[in-house]
Structure 1
Amino acid sequence: MLKARSACLVAALWLGGALLPGVAHADAFSGLSSARPDETAATVSALAGSGAPQAGAVLQALGERHLFTTPDGGLYIRHGEACIDARTGQPVAVVPDGLKPIRLNNRIRTALAGAQAEMGLIAPQADIRLKAADALYGRHDPAMLLALDHALSVEKDRTVRTRLMQARAATILAQPPGQGAQDARLEAVRSLAAAGGLEARGILAGVARSDAEALPVRHAAQAAVSSIDWHLRAWGVLQNAFYGLSYGSVLLLAATGLAITFGVMGVINMAHGEMMMIGAYVTWMVQQGIRATIPALEPVAILVAIPVAFAVCGALGVLIERGLIRFLYGRPLETLLATWGLSLILQQAVRSIFGPTNIAVQTPAWLSGSVAVGGMDITLNRLAILVFAGLVLGGLMLVLRRTPLGLQMRAVTQNRRMAALMGIRTPRVDALAFGLGAGLAGLAGVAVSQIDNVSPNLGQSYIIDSFMVVVFGGVGNLWGTLAAAMALGMGGKVLEPTIGAVSAKIAILVLVILYIQRHPRGMFPVRGRGVES
């Protein structure tokens, strides 16, 4: 029926074109040259089922505003100086005079979208057919119902077929209630309920509110809306939990370094956040340097930045410890004020060198995009941060448990005086521990550059939460740091949609304070003589 309708329309246009003086071509494309938008829209719709070899190219050129017409009815596709006869697809040596672009209005755009989707349903590639089915699902145009039925009768791909059925269901429910059998509308409601999502919910909500709808259909639609709402809330919680995991991973990277310096040296380093900020800027500098010198390595610039940021921030941490911190041991207030002043100096230095505005760290293509899992999107960059944080934590545990430096750091953490009496050079351990903590903060800066703005104030957004993770988890205990980072990260993100970002921060802080009152050493306190004394 659709083919017959299209053929009749094309024939009518051909006859109309034959009667008009000065029209050189009377065929499936003739109506595109018409001055009447209704005729142009009708021709666009008819082209989808005309079978004309150039129909796809002509419709694409029309959508891209590259389709032109001449006073005698000629059609040409023009890209710059190149000109092609739209009917034959052959290049034209001389650009015709009097070319005028075929203008689009909303009606023509609507017809064009439907025609392209209809043509996509018969494409040999499954991904193109799936894209066309998605477009028809969003349009739910009753005029496309015959095309959907035909596509379903020949479609073999399971994914495309499922989407076509959902598009057909949406199209059936878009019709007035009296134009469809009740059984068909009930089946359409069930199909959209299984599809889920906001768009399906919107269609079903309209059916549920319609007084003209049959009562069984309305009840089924109401039940489907309730089911979709429940699933959307559940998936929303899971989505926020995933965001919380990625945020907790950044906190884990930042807090592990802080736990080492605070646990080994007892130093409250207020400049720790600036090490994160420097790590993020180092990432940007590595990316810019590779882009200018070895562009072929640009996709892996983020991987090159990881050891560079660790080395730069680690070396800077050793310099800070040797040049400032070692003169203030045993004086916690002076240390806090000195490191806070150092953080302001580092912020202003970066602001003077790179400017006060945000800089853009490019996310590589292999970390862009997302993977749909049920009703949530797993973004690849956040997933990579989760994996990266796990690898860093595993490597740090190996260093602490399997290397001489790690054993010495653990000894100093548990009892500094006893470690010194056993021959451990505690000043050297302090310098290396501070450098290791700063290097870990640099790694956190590499990670955060992929999900947050890079600016001189970057570190200030994470320093308080990092201290809270260290205290909540247990000073010097990496398992406690892991548990606290994930608990605080996920707790905040899950609460934010319900009570707001500020209230969520306050609620988390109150809960941490209440917990610390009962367990002053955190969830996983370090045991040792120095601690017990």
Structure 2
Amino acid sequence: MKFTHKPWAWVAVAGLGALLSFASHALTAEQAYAMATGDDSEQRVQAINQAVLDPAVRTDGGRLSAFLGALANDEVRVSQGKVYVMSGDAVTDPVTGQAAKLPADAEEVVSNNYLRSVIDTAQAALALDSGDVPQRRSAAEKLAAEPDAARLPLIEKALASEKDEQVKALLERSRAASLLSSEDVQQRLKAVEQLAHQKTPDTQLLLNQRLSEESDPGVQKAIRAALVGIEESLAWGDRIGAAFSGISLGSVLLLAALGLAITYGLMGVINMAHGELIMIGAYATYLVQLMFQRWMSEAAFGWYLVVAIPVAFLASALVGAVLERGVIRFLYGRPLETLLATFGISLVLQQTVRSLFGAQNVGVENPAWMSGGIALQPNLTLPYNRIAIIVFAFAVLGAVAFMIARTRLGLFVRGVTQNRAMASCVGVNTARTDTYAFALGSGIAGLAGCALSQIGNVGPDLGQNYIVDSFLVVVLGGVGQLAGTVYAALGLGVLSKLLEGWTGAVLAKIAVLLFIVVFIQKRPQGIFALKGRSAET
């Protein structure tokens, strides 16, 4: 809350400007009592700021900051001119710091929201000279959030000694923002010029607010010009952010659909249990995480994801191989029956997971190296976990492309895909190839689950969110076409995110679906047509 709303508050807060930030603060009984028992909020605010300014209280113990915290938390009691602080059952004297006995007639001191905001500002002022950089950053953010011309001397003093660039930037923004309320037109113009270089959403909001209050035409013109530059910079951040989000979504769709492209393209199996294979990979990652948490050191925990990747692949591949050998191999050539059978299997797998792990979502933590992000602009931060998933998706794509193009198994898969009868005639064991291919596609689905566990919740219904989109990607790209799957996944991801910015998530989903329907009507074979003799059948 700004103190400028009331004239008396200007006098009270102006004293903060003379404050030098100190690591320790002593407190007198008179000051503590005045802060706690003023007749009204005005007197208490004045007492708080006078105590912050008084050089005599800066010599011992950090008690002023502690007492302000107690005031904000309603932990202060008064009795017969003395003040006490309660922390649970413990009672202390804020002046001496020693244990005390609370009198029976002690009364509770209650602070309203306005007083708490005053206390917050006072504590931020005290924290500006803290030896802890994050604490100084937090204090500078509080001062920058509520600019006030009365705080300029305080900000100038802190800037003179500040070394951290982030804290300096926050203080400079607070200084410029505080100058906006100056009565001097030249000072306001200088403030606008400084803020024009800080192209942040907070600065944009601040200048818009000032524009509605500004009376000088020259300052109004400068503010409008600054807003144009800030809006253009932020617009580029929004565009880049939407493109990155689209690529991120596309990489997730690519991982989810890549395995389906292999199984559906090879055998024509409509595998409705593909989403549950993704879910199995996610739960395998969760189990590896539990193993590392229970039996490994904290330092080793960051490597659990490296172990989880092959485990997720093998777990889903094994389930896929069992599924193919036990059910699907009896249904080749009957796609509708494979749809019904795999849909039933998906329900069984979901219920099995609910029985083993419960119906609630389970938490999978990001390793430390995947936490945080790269801040390219004030309104654009690229999360490390999303970047890692994009890299991982293309690494998996490269490995699959190499296997299909350069290995014996890949040769067999391509042969069976293009002409199953001829491949069988030249000695290819098509049944074994089907099993290997289905297990490979299932394993890739497990890798998708491993990746998805890093960006969302893991639960029994995880795969249901991606099964429809996976089929759309495969059909749009062209059945059995790896390149088509890549183009379709990335294209749908970017298109969805761009449309969301204009129409919202629901309408964007409908628009994408309509686009796919129209595209398939015009080009039924998808982006890339299947090559070979079987393409005509």
| Deviates further, 79-88 or 385-394 | 79-88
The 1:295–1:231 alpha-carbon spacing in structure 2 relative to 1, beyond 3 Å, is same
Q: 2:393 matched to 1:389? A: yes
- For the residues of structure 1 that align with 2:441 and 2:13, how far apart are their CA atoms? 71
Is the CA contact 1:61–1:77 (under 8 Å) kept in the aligned structure 2?
no
Deviations 1:379-415 (A, max 9, x none): 2332222222222223323333443323322332233
The 1:229–1:344 alpha-carbon spacing in structure 2 relative to 1, beyond 3 Å, is same
Q: 2:353 matched to 1:350? A: yes
- Partner residue in 1 for 2:70: 62
- For the residues of structure 2 that align with 1:242 and 1:470, how far apart are their CA atoms? 22
Matches within 5 A, 1:254-265: 254-265=256-267
What is the aligned counterpart of 1:327 among 330, 333, 343? 330
What is the aligned counterpart of 1:129 among 123, 136, 153? 136
State the secondary structure of the residue aligned to 2:79. coil
Deviations 1:289-318 (A, max 9, x none): 544555745554444332222211111100
- For the residues of structure 2 that align with 1:6 and 1:409, how far apart are their CA atoms? 76
- For the residues of structure 2 that align with 1:237 and 1:521, how far apart are their CA atoms? 32
Matches within 5 A, 1:237-316: 237-294=239-296, 296=298, 298-316=301-319
Deviations 1:58-82 (A, max 9, x none): 2564367385455365556655566
Deviation at 1:119, TM superposition (A): 2.0
| Deviates further, 233-242 or 491-500 | 233-242
Is the CA contact 2:484–2:527 (under 8 Å) kept in the aligned structure 1?
yes
Is the CA contact 2:361–2:458 (under 8 Å) kept in the aligned structure 1?
yes
- Partner residue in 1 for 2:223: 221
- For the residues of structure 2 that align with 1:440 and 1:3, how far apart are their CA atoms? 62
Matches within 5 A, 1:396-415: 396-415=400-419
Q: 2:374 matched to 1:371? A: yes
Q: 2:152 matched to 1:145? A: yes
State the secondary structure of the residue aligned to 1:377. strand
Deviation at 1:329, TM superposition (A): 1.2
- Partner residue in 2 for 1:40: 44
- Partner residue in 2 for 1:188: 191
Deviation at 1:483, TM superposition (A): 2.0
Report percent identity of matched pairs: 42
- For the residues of structure 1 that align with 2:73 and 2:399, how far apart are their CA atoms? 56
The 1:392–1:192 alpha-carbon spacing in structure 2 relative to 1, beyond 3 Å, is same
Matches within 5 A, 1:54-93: 54-55=62-63, 57-59=65-67, 61-62=69-70, 65=73, 68-69=76-77, 71=79, 79-80=87-88, 85-89=93-97, 92=99
| Deviates further, 521-530 or 60-69 | 60-69
State the secondary structure of the residue aligned to 2:289. helix
Is the CA contact 1:68–1:102 (under 8 Å) kept in the aligned structure 2?
yes
Is the CA contact 2:28–2:95 (under 8 Å) kept in the aligned structure 1?
no
TM-score, length basis structure 2: 0.84
What is the aligned counterpart of 1:170 among 146, 155, 177? 177
- Partner residue in 1 for 2:112: 105
| Count of aligned pairs | 512
The 1:499–1:105 alpha-carbon spacing in structure 2 relative to 1, beyond 3 Å, is same
The 1:124–1:298 alpha-carbon spacing in structure 2 relative to 1, beyond 3 Å, is closer
- Give, as a single letter, the amino acid of the residue that structure 1 aligns with 2:321: V
| Deviates further, 397-406 or 491-500 | 397-406
Is the CA contact 1:207–1:213 (under 8 Å) kept in the aligned structure 2?
no
The 1:494–1:79 alpha-carbon spacing in structure 2 relative to 1, beyond 3 Å, is same
Deviation at 1:458, TM superposition (A): 2.3
State the secondary structure of the residue aligned to 2:53. coil
- For the residues of structure 2 that align with 1:8 and 1:224, how far apart are their CA atoms? 32
- For the residues of structure 1 that align with 2:455 and 2:419, how far apart are their CA atoms? 39
Deviations 1:115-159 (A, max 9, x none): 122223333454443332221110112321221233334445444
- For the residues of structure 2 that align with 1:365 and 1:82, how far apart are their CA atoms? 39
Alpha-carbon RMSD across the aligned residues, in angstroms, is 3.3
TM-score, length basis structure 1: 0.85
The 1:392–1:156 alpha-carbon spacing in structure 2 relative to 1, beyond 3 Å, is same
Matches within 5 A, 1:476-495: 476-495=480-499
- Give, as a single letter, the amino acid of the residue that structure 1 aligns with 2:115: I
- Give, as a single letter, the amino acid of the residue that structure 1 aligns with 2:117: T
- Give, as a single letter, the amino acid of the residue that structure 2 aligns with 1:478: L
- For the residues of structure 2 that align with 1:63 and 1:388, how far apart are their CA atoms? 52
| Deviates further, 50-59 or 181-190 | 50-59
Q: 2:447 matched to 1:447? A: no
The 1:369–1:78 alpha-carbon spacing in structure 2 relative to 1, beyond 3 Å, is farther
- Give, as a single letter, the amino acid of the residue that structure 1 aligns with 2:223: A
Q: 2:514 matched to 1:506? A: no
| Deviates further, 30-39 or 128-137 | 30-39
State the secondary structure of the residue aligned to 2:479. coil
- Partner residue in 1 for 2:463: 459
State the secondary structure of the residue aligned to 1:48. helix
State the secondary structure of the residue aligned to 1:451. coil
- For the residues of structure 2 that align with 1:128 and 1:461, how far apart are their CA atoms? 41
State the secondary structure of the residue aligned to 1:488. helix
